[in-house]
Structure 1
């Protein structure tokens, strides 16, 4: 039987500019947890932005049900990880999450009540700054 599972040593290292660096590979054991958490959150944020119609294809990719799931998962991850990764790392992630939560509210034809939006069970109600 063939093993088709990805192995940690096969994970490409990210280049400084955010693109994959195919020539370089890093052993997952050498990657700090804060970097793994940051990478996962960036992927969730990017996917949520696409589902909110904020990417290249715009509203063609709009799917609020999918965006809600991604934003809720992101909120849970950031909320759980914040005490472990520290405010210097969690602060920018929270800002990005808040921006997505507000974009979701704006994209919704029938916005959720405050505290009922995606991820707000983890973050509390999100309001636009005046």
Structure 2
């Protein structure tokens, strides 16, 4: 039993090192999958592997145009603040915008990037 727990912890450590860029090898980006439910409706894309999914059950649901991740940035880009230069001390699990979407305002809903200009006109 002690050996299997030690092996599991070693495997998790190796995976976390690779996911968070601490491994020596270059990480190949994972492409979002297009998934549909039994009725053929699109389901929000989910990365094939997220380390925290091993111990989080059930996997939390996210609002439209977002996906759950084990390590989200402490500040997510938004229409008016697209470039974020803040170093986070640690990452937290939570929902982030899917590719091609951005927060309308900090902490706001995720909208297509092309809609940012329409929102900025009203400010």
TM-score (norm 2): 0.29
Structure with greater proportional strand content: 2
TM-score (norm 1): 0.28
Higher relative contact order (CA 8 A, sep 6+): 1
